[in-house]
Chains A and B, each alone.
Chain A
Amino acid sequence: MALAGVPTLVRKEFREHGLSMLLLGGGFVITLLLAHAQNQQAAFAMSPLQVLLLSVTLVIPLIAFIMGNRLISTEYLGHTRQFVESLPINPLVFLIIKYLLGLLFVGGLALVAIAYTWLLSDSGDALDRKLLTIVLVKVLCVVFFIWSVVFCFSFFGFLRFALYVMLGVVIVTLVTYPGFDQREFGPFALLDQGVFAFERDNMPIKAALQTLFMGAVFTLAGFLLPLMRDGSLIESLAKPIDRSNMVVLAVIGVGVLATLGSLLEKWDVPEYSFSSDHVVSEVDPPVSILYLEPIYEEQSKQLLESMRDLIVPLQQALDLKVMPTVRVALDKGLSETNLNDIRFGSADGVLVRANYLKYDSFSMAVLQTNALHQLIQATSGERRTFEPYHWLLDGFTRWWVEESLAIEEHKVELFARAVNSVVYLEEPIDLVHNWQWIAEEVSYPSAEALAYTALVFYEQQFGREAVLELANLVLAPKVSDNVFGVISDRRISIQSSFRNVTGQKIERFFIDWQEWLLDQQSEPAVANLLSMVPNVRGAASSETSANGVHELIGRYEVIDSVNHDAVAGFTCDMQHVLISPFDYEIAWTSGEHETQACDNFDTLHSVSSYYAAGDRVFVAFEVQVDAFHQAIRVGAQRLVVE
């Protein structure tokens, strides 16, 4: 009796959905044809089975979704199910027919794809029985899983869209989460692009069983849902989503996202140690220096000691509980003299690379400042180069190093550089709100000098303890990588922190500082250095010759006469970088550099046939003056090539 109506039901389903199935099947076949045609033309296509992978991952899920919609969702949302359920047939039979029809349809399409691929292949592809069996197992397991998910979700009425979206989020999360190895698990392993078409020997039994199991769970859920509470659960799910459901969904969504965020937060990058015999290191504080060859060991030991002497008190002053290893590597491929060529990164702790063998005390101070800069970045969760704090990070680290060294020549050079920058900028300097533009206009070394002098002035005004207090408040705390971290960090602005420590507004402080800094021009040593800085400005223009050759030309304009007496000669450098329409900070190491001697500044930098009309280019001009360890920037602009 239970099976008596089965043929009728089957006929009913074909009457309702047969045409659509025919059309979907036809569309699938045409897609297959086109995909194979494209694969044959593709530059690096290896096997026609790669098209099969595409069909299973993209086209079949879409077709399954449409079929699920037609076979189940429309019927249950449209309440025609009630007419069918009034028939003297077990409701389970009704479900089984729908399930099997959908499964056979998508499975049939997959088989057509496999058969067509096999028939289209040539002997070169060698789609032998064993390979075909492996591919068949993979495809059918995945198709079973896909249809099971669709079958289950289709009973959820309007909620099914939310479920599909959540499933998508879960899949994307798993694929991108570093702690999940998708090569070994279930459908991910079966559809692994690297082996899908090429594994000829090993049947992925474990992954297939996992996939079948997951599919079985969804299938079971799909069968249970309509039978629960005599179908009243489905009735409820068929109703449009009301506000309370939306709230529940939103809460679930927030919960999922929070979990995702904390999972990513907890993922630790492994700590890295130098693997070489040519390393000197300390454990507390954790510092390592890699020196490449035995002859450099002594010098590196000195560097290690100086780093230790800087880091130990810093750790105490800022109460840094968790210390990453500070690693410095000798890199003889970098410039011995150009301090812009010190490279650093902190993706796995602190690593600074420099060619420090011929460094004098000033250059060594720059290296040490870089290391401390990266240390504080690492301990704060990479937060302190955020513009409102960047000036304090640069200024404090340089102040800390120079205070330890107490070398007057360093201070003179830094002050001369800072004074030169103030004069160059002309406008009042706001280190909190304009750090990025300041650094671009005068270069990072000069911006650091400005910040250093600000800290010196700050110390003079409020005392050393005030410097440490401000650093503790602003630089030390670690900031999480999510919105809670942002809220927590910005709840108290740097302006407020400054005021809490000093009782003074930071804007007032900056005004006083600049006045004080300009007064330093009269210091003989500073004035002497300043007299060696040529008062020139560099500017770039874009020109196209009559025969269509485009040139980017850099020129210098002498504002005042140039003092040649105390200098051996000048070297001019023009940096040019292709940039996007959107502004961002540009490092000295980006783009290209055109360097040449320029004693009279009648130098012309010329870059020919490099850029096209409409390109946007960043150009910066720097002059290397012997008396200064780092070049002085005399121009920076972003121009559009005509």
Chain B
Amino acid sequence: MIALIFKELRQLKPIAFLWIALLALSIGIELFTSRVDEQSYELFCDALCAPGIEYSQAIFLMILCLVTAYSLYPREVDERTIDFLHALPIKKSTIFYGKFIAAFGLVCLLLLFSYGVLSVLLAFNPESMSGKRYFAIDASLFLRDCVFAFVVMAHGVFLSRFRTVGLVIYALYLLLVRWLETQFDGIGWVSVFEIFKIDYSGTAFSFNFNVMAGHIALAVVLLVLACRMWSGVQGKSEGVNKNAKVHKLLKIVASVFGFLFMAMILVGQVMQNAQVAEEKAFETLLTDHYRFVFLTGDKGQAEELHASAEEHYQQLRVLLNASTEPVIHVDMTSENDHAAGLAQWKTIKMGLSGGESPNRYARVLSHETAHVFQSVESNRAFRAYFNSTRFFIEGMANYVSFEIVPRQDTRRQNRDIAAVSWQRQNIQFEDMTNSAAFSSQFNAELVYGLGEIWTEALVDVCGKGALGEVLRSAGRDGAPLGLPAGVFWRDTLQQFSCELELVNAAWRTKLSARFDDIDQSQFPILDNMSATEHENGVTISISAPLESELPAYRYALRIAKESKSVASVDAIFKPDNLIVELDSQVLKFEVPSELTDRGRFRYQVGYQIEDGSRIYFQSWRSGSVLQ
């Protein structure tokens, strides 16, 4: 067995060299592009050991494990060396497990080597705080990787019996799991990537033993099956082999049928789509710069919109002093649950079936058209700097759409929410220029109100022409790329002699003045929240004492689902009921327990200041369920 293991290790040398080469490359990049002694766990672990699943790292390890697993048997069979192995006075199962142990052992050694090298690199940092070492976490990560490798290699050895088909099946399994995760809450444990999930309790790494145990058990079963399957295999023979011929014929037939089956699904989907298209009659309306496509049932709304569209388009063009006149395709055939409208390059998507007023649809169209102009006039520079410019992308679109299609009450509501949030949550300009971090700390939708006020400040300080100048300046020839956020904004604004500090000062003045004018009692603060598991075991009750007289139905609770950066896809809950307890009122929300990850969750609580307005949310907080 030992000799077998060593023999296998020798054969796996190329994989070891490949891994070491890739590691050397990544270390080389690190050494040549940064000061290695300033690396800290905090910086290094920004992605690799942050809570959650780092898919890129997991996929890399998965590929390596699958390549290793696939190199154990198929090549031996193709080169007919398997016959020699089986001819040895060793049990075939011993051969199988010897190979697997060698492969798994090699991967673990390589992982150990990698963590060792990284540990040595981080050891160059002499700083007392940033240079601190976390051997326990290193060990935990190593253990996690070994478990993951074991499971994936077991899958790989089993699937290698089916060669390419096995790889295809595995790829489909991963895709399917990913799709299921988006459809259903709590299905994540089916995914092998759940083993790779990182969570901490304080400074201690937190393993999900249930998930690991489940996957390990399945891996063991697959290993046993794989052993049986590979043990009966002989080397490929060039002579006539009746079984091989039948086997091959079966494979061809199965493949052809499989292909035909999928073709039928494709055709079926296409036919179904065609039928839906027939049932849904579409019509088109054109203007000089728009092409509206809408359902016949929405013709009335479309025609109302059509009447004012071109005029609003020209108003926007004048506001931006735009040099381009993009022709925009507007798809009005479907509603989006998360946004009134979407825009990308020269395409807008918005629905007309929601029963909204013509004024609202006109404003949505104007808002999205502004996005189109932003892209075109800036030559996609704003997209390239999306994280730094999102507040302006939405804020400016809001600003121009309100200028062109006024709606004072909505504008006032947005601004009030922005002002209160700015004051209470101490939001700075620097926070707005990092959209991802902003969304993880505050309500992501604040960019509409805060951005709109900032845009107004820009106009006040640098003139109305500044709206278009910002876009053209960002997209000018030779504009530097990859600038940090603050530098980008200063560089962009100074191209037309507009001073960022003045704009920010004006922005703060406006927000402060607005905050002073607001009736604070309309923006309640919810505190002393608690979460308990419901008796049914399926939901969790999140409660808060209510201290204001405002209507309870306007309160809202948002639980962070999969994406914190796109808050509008997070689940929002209204109060389940209002309970009166001992002369005080308690607000209670019922949420599915799958939304909490082992009893922990992130939430925002908020209040809808008027019917139909956006919700004022407090900043994101953490909560845990009392067991």
User: Is A595 an interface residue when CB atoms closer than 8 A count as contact?
Assistant: no
With a cutoff of 8 Å between Cβ atoms, the chain B residues found around residue A578 in the complex are: 622
Task: Indicate if the CB atoms of B129 and A440 lie closer than 8 Å.
Answer: yes
Q: Which of B41, B259, B527 contacts A582 (CB 8 A)?
A: B41
Distance between B185 CB and nearest chain A CB, rounded to angstroms: 14
User: Is B514 an interface residue when CB atoms closer than 8 A count as contact?
Assistant: no
Distance between B168 CB and nearest chain A CB, rounded to angstroms: 4
Interface centre among A180, A273, A388, A584 (most CB of B within 10 A): A584
Task: Indicate if the CB atoms of B203 and A581 lie closer than 8 Å.
Answer: yes
How many residue pairs link A and B with beta carbons under 8 A? The number is 334
Q: Which of A31, A42, A275, A640 contacts B498 (CB 8 A)?
A: A275
Which residues of chain B from 499 to 539 have a CB within 8 Å of any chain A CB?
499, 501-502, 504-505, 508-509, 527-532
Number of chain B residues close to chain A: CB under 8 A: 131
Task: Indicate if the CB atoms of A122 and B333 lie closer than 8 Å.
Answer: yes
Task: Indicate if the CB atoms of B175 and A44 lie closer than 8 Å.
Answer: no
Interface centre among B276, B494, B502, B532 (most CB of A within 10 A): B502
With a cutoff of 8 Å between Cβ atoms, the chain A residues found around residue B274 in the complex are: 119
Task: Indicate if the CB atoms of B494 and A273 lie closer than 8 Å.
Answer: yes
Complex-state Cα separation, A591 to B350, whole angstroms? 39
Residue of B whose beta carbon sits closest to that of A272: B490
Partner-contacting stretch, out of A20-28, A95-103, A404-412: A20-28
User: Is A162 an interface residue when CB atoms closer than 8 A count as contact?
Assistant: yes
Residue of A whose beta carbon sits closest to that of B271: A119
Complex-state Cα separation, A183 to B379, whole angstroms? 9
Task: Indicate if the CB atoms of B18 and A260 lie closer than 8 Å.
Answer: no
Task: Indicate if the CB atoms of B259 and A178 lie closer than 8 Å.
Answer: no
User: Is B262 an interface residue when CB atoms closer than 8 A count as contact?
Assistant: yes
What per-residue 1/0 map shows which CB atoms of B166-192 lie under 8 Å from chain A?
001001100110110011000000000
Q: Which of B50, B482, B529 contacts A549 (CB 8 A)?
A: B529
Complex-state Cα separation, A615 to B35, whole angstroms? 31
Partner-contacting stretch, out of B219-227, B337-345, B396-404, B447-455: B337-345
Partner-contacting stretch, out of B26-34, B99-107, B407-415, B547-555: B26-34
User: Is B243 an interface residue when CB atoms closer than 8 A count as contact?
Assistant: no
User: Is A309 an interface residue when CB atoms closer than 8 A count as contact?
Assistant: no
Q: Which of A120, A273, A549, A616 contacts B530 (CB 8 A)?
A: A549
Task: Indicate if the CB atoms of A348 and B487 lie closer than 8 Å.
Answer: yes
Complex-state Cα separation, A621 to B387, whole angstroms? 34
Which residues of chain A from 189 to 240 have a CB within 8 Å of any chain B CB?
192, 194-195, 197-201, 240
What per-residue 1/0 map shows which CB atoms of A6-42 lie under 8 Å from chain B?
0000000000000110111111011101110110011
User: Is A73 an interface residue when CB atoms closer than 8 A count as contact?
Assistant: no
Known: A22-B259, A122-B277, A332-B505. A609 touches B172 (CB 8 A): no
With a cutoff of 8 Å between Cβ atoms, the chain B residues found around residue A126 in the complex are: 291, 293, 329, 331
Complex-state Cα separation, A440 to B31, whole angstroms? 30
Distance between B617 CB and nearest chain A CB, rounded to angstroms: 14
With a cutoff of 8 Å between Cβ atoms, the chain A residues found around residue B22 in the complex are: 165
Distance between B76 CB and nearest chain A CB, rounded to angstroms: 15
Q: Which of B32, B50, B182 contacts A483 (CB 8 A)?
A: B32
Q: Which of B134, B490, B498, B501 contacts A353 (CB 8 A)?
A: B501
With a cutoff of 8 Å between Cβ atoms, the chain A residues found around residue B344 in the complex are: 46-47, 194, 197-198
Residue of B whose beta carbon sits closest to that of A31: B175
Complex-state Cα separation, A582 to B259, whole angstroms? 52
Complex-state Cα separation, A43 to B349, whole angstroms? 12
Distance between A295 CB and nearest chain B CB, rounded to angstroms: 14
Known: A582-B42, A608-B528. A22 touches B255 (CB 8 A): yes
Task: Indicate if the CB atoms of A198 and B346 lie closer than 8 Å.
Answer: yes
Q: Which of A66, A331, A386, A434 contacts B505 (CB 8 A)?
A: A331
Task: Indicate if the CB atoms of B182 and A329 lie closer than 8 Å.
Answer: no
With a cutoff of 8 Å between Cβ atoms, the chain A residues found around residue B501 in the complex are: 274, 276, 290, 292, 329-331, 353
User: Is A261 an interface residue when CB atoms closer than 8 A count as contact?
Assistant: yes
Residue of B whose beta carbon sits closest to that of A616: B202
User: Is A462 an interface residue when CB atoms closer than 8 A count as contact?
Assistant: no
With a cutoff of 8 Å between Cβ atoms, the chain B residues found around residue A609 in the complex are: 527-530, 544, 621, 623
Q: Which of B129, B332, B346 contacts A124 (CB 8 A)?
A: B332
With a cutoff of 8 Å between Cβ atoms, the chain A residues found around residue B255 in the complex are: 19, 22-23, 26
Task: Indicate if the CB atoms of B494 and A272 lie closer than 8 Å.
Answer: yes
Which residues of chain B from 361 to 414 have a CB within 8 Å of any chain A CB?
375, 379-380, 383-384
User: Is B252 an interface residue when CB atoms closer than 8 A count as contact?
Assistant: yes
With a cutoff of 8 Å between Cβ atoms, the chain A residues found around residue B494 in the complex are: 272-273, 275
Interface centre among A25, A31, A195 (most CB of B within 10 A): A195
Complex-state Cα separation, A21 to B345, whole angstroms? 37
Distance between A23 CB and nearest chain B CB, rounded to angstroms: 5
Distance between A631 CB and nearest chain B CB, rounded to angstroms: 18
Complex-state Cα separation, A580 to B483, whole angstroms? 27
Complex-state Cα separation, A580 to B137, whole angstroms? 13
Complex-state Cα separation, A611 to B620, whole angstroms? 10
With a cutoff of 8 Å between Cβ atoms, the chain B residues found around residue A264 in the complex are: 33
Complex-state Cα separation, A397 to B137, whole angstroms? 39
Distance between B141 CB and nearest chain A CB, rounded to angstroms: 12
Task: Indicate if the CB atoms of A46 and B270 lie closer than 8 Å.
Answer: no
Known: A19-B255, A119-B270, A608-B528. A276 touches B499 (CB 8 A): yes
Which residues of chain A from 252 to 280 have a CB within 8 Å of any chain B CB?
253-254, 257-258, 260-261, 264, 269-270, 272-276, 278
What per-residue 1/0 map shows which CB atoms of A166-188 lie under 8 Å from chain B?
00010000001111110100000
With a cutoff of 8 Å between Cβ atoms, the chain B residues found around residue A458 in the complex are: none
Which residues of chain A from 341 to 391 have a CB within 8 Å of any chain B CB?
345, 347-348, 353, 383, 386-388
User: Is A460 an interface residue when CB atoms closer than 8 A count as contact?
Assistant: no
Task: Indicate if the CB atoms of B345 and A195 lie closer than 8 Å.
Answer: yes
With a cutoff of 8 Å between Cβ atoms, the chain B residues found around residue A278 in the complex are: 502
Q: Which of B202, B338, B509, B600 contacts A640 (CB 8 A)?
A: B202
With a cutoff of 8 Å between Cβ atoms, the chain B residues found around residue A320 in the complex are: none
Task: Indicate if the CB atoms of B622 and A199 lie closer than 8 Å.
Answer: no
Task: Indicate if the CB atoms of A613 and B200 lie closer than 8 Å.
Answer: no
Known: A43-B566, A183-B384, A612-B624. A124 touches B28 (CB 8 A): no
Known: A25-B259, A436-B128. A194 touches B33 (CB 8 A): no
Distance between B374 CB and nearest chain A CB, rounded to angstroms: 11
Complex-state Cα separation, A332 to B509, whole angstroms? 9
Q: Which of B182, B349, B543 contacts A41 (CB 8 A)?
A: B182
Complex-state Cα separation, A27 to B509, whole angstroms? 59
With a cutoff of 8 Å between Cβ atoms, the chain B residues found around residue A254 in the complex are: 28
Distance between B250 CB and nearest chain A CB, rounded to angstroms: 11
User: Is B569 an interface residue when CB atoms closer than 8 A count as contact?
Assistant: yes
User: Is B258 an interface residue when CB atoms closer than 8 A count as contact?
Assistant: yes
User: Is B9 an interface residue when CB atoms closer than 8 A count as contact?
Assistant: no
With a cutoff of 8 Å between Cβ atoms, the chain B residues found around residue A176 in the complex are: 482
User: Is A560 an interface residue when CB atoms closer than 8 A count as contact?
Assistant: no
Task: Indicate if the CB atoms of A549 and B273 lie closer than 8 Å.
Answer: no
User: Is B269 an interface residue when CB atoms closer than 8 A count as contact?
Assistant: yes
Task: Indicate if the CB atoms of A611 and B621 lie closer than 8 Å.
Answer: yes
Task: Indicate if the CB atoms of B600 and A46 lie closer than 8 Å.
Answer: no
Residue of A whose beta carbon sits closest to that of B29: A257
Residue of A whose beta carbon sits closest to that of B261: A26
With a cutoff of 8 Å between Cβ atoms, the chain A residues found around residue B259 in the complex are: 22, 25-26, 29
Q: Which of B40, B483, B599, B622 contacts A584 (CB 8 A)?
A: B40
Residue of B whose beta carbon sits closest to that of A436: B129
Q: Which of B131, B329, B531, B566 contacts A200 (CB 8 A)?
A: B329
With a cutoff of 8 Å between Cβ atoms, the chain B residues found around residue A177 in the complex are: 482
Distance between A116 CB and nearest chain B CB, rounded to angstroms: 6
Complex-state Cα separation, A622 to B490, whole angstroms? 35
Distance between A121 CB and nearest chain B CB, rounded to angstroms: 8
17 contacts between A and B (CB under 8 A): A27-B171, A43-B568, A46-B344, A46-B349, A161-B18, A181-B481, A183-B384, A194-B383, A250-B24, A253-B24, A257-B25, A348-B484, A387-B129, A481-B35, A547-B532, A580-B200, A613-B624
Give me 18 other A-B pairs in contact (C-beta within 8 A), A580-B50, A610-B621 excluded. Answer: A22-B259, A27-B172, A44-B336, A44-B338, A119-B273, A122-B277, A124-B331, A180-B481, A270-B491, A278-B502, A347-B486, A386-B37, A548-B626, A582-B40, A583-B130, A584-B129, A609-B621, A616-B203
